[in-house]
């Protein structure tokens, strides 16, 4: 395991309005690694998908807790963990398939696929009735700043 260089933990209610907050918090934390605008967009999108999954699927009928942990490790790796204590996922392999959803016809079923495409690594752990933990990692390319 790589050495942690910085971290932050934020807990919030599963209100849809907090999805935007989580995106901005992740972008602000990641900014320390000097990401490109594309990398920043990838991070914001992946966090948005993970938090939205927790809001929609973990707590469909009530408010619950969501924990966002952000960690930087040596080698410019950003690790993002989104944890809930909601319904959990019965079949993770099935849930990770494109177009599969338990959220009704208005949901695309692309959340995990999008997270996976924008991050270098994605892991999902879940226990029915106990919640879900999504861990995403992205290495931010080291850039040489001209003129410095």
Annotated active-site residue in 18, 19, 39, 53 = 53
Q: Does the annotation count 6 as an active-site position? A: no
* Annotated catalytic residue, options 65, 107, 137, 139: 107
- 120, 42 Cβ separation under 8 angstroms: no
Closest CA to 25 of 36, 39, 11, 5: 11
Told to judge if 145 belongs to the known catalytic residues of this protein, a careful annotator would answer: no
What is residue 123's three-state secondary structure? strand
In the block, tokens 């849930």 appear at 95
The catalytically annotated residue of 19, 49, 71, 87 is 49
Q: Is 49 an annotated catalytic residue?
A: yes
- In our burial notation (b when 16+ CB lie closer than 10 A, e otherwise), range 29-67 reads bbeebebeeebbebbbbbbbbbbbbbbbbbbeeeebbbb
Neighbours of 89 (CB within 10 A): 22
What residues are annotated to the active site?
A: 49, 53, 107
């Amino acid at each position: 395991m790589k050495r942690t260089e910085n971290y932050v933990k934020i807990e919030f209610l599963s209100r849809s309005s907090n999805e935007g907050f989580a995106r901005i918090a992740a972008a602000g934390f990641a900014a320390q690694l000097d990401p490109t605008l594309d990398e920043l967009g990838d991070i914001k999108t992946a966090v948005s998908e993970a938090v939205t999954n927790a809001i929609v699927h973990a707590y469909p009928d009530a408010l619950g807790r969501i924990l966002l942990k952000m960690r930087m490790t040596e080698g410019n790796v950003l690790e993002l963990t989104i944890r809930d204590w909601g319904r959990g996922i019965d079949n993770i392999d099935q849930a990770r398939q494109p177009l599969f959803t338990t959220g009704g016809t208005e949901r695309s079923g692309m959340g995990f696929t999008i997270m996976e495409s924008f991050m270098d690594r994605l892991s999902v752990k879940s226990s029915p009735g106990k919640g879900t933990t999504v861990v995403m990692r992205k290495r931010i390319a080291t850039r040489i700043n001209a003129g410095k």
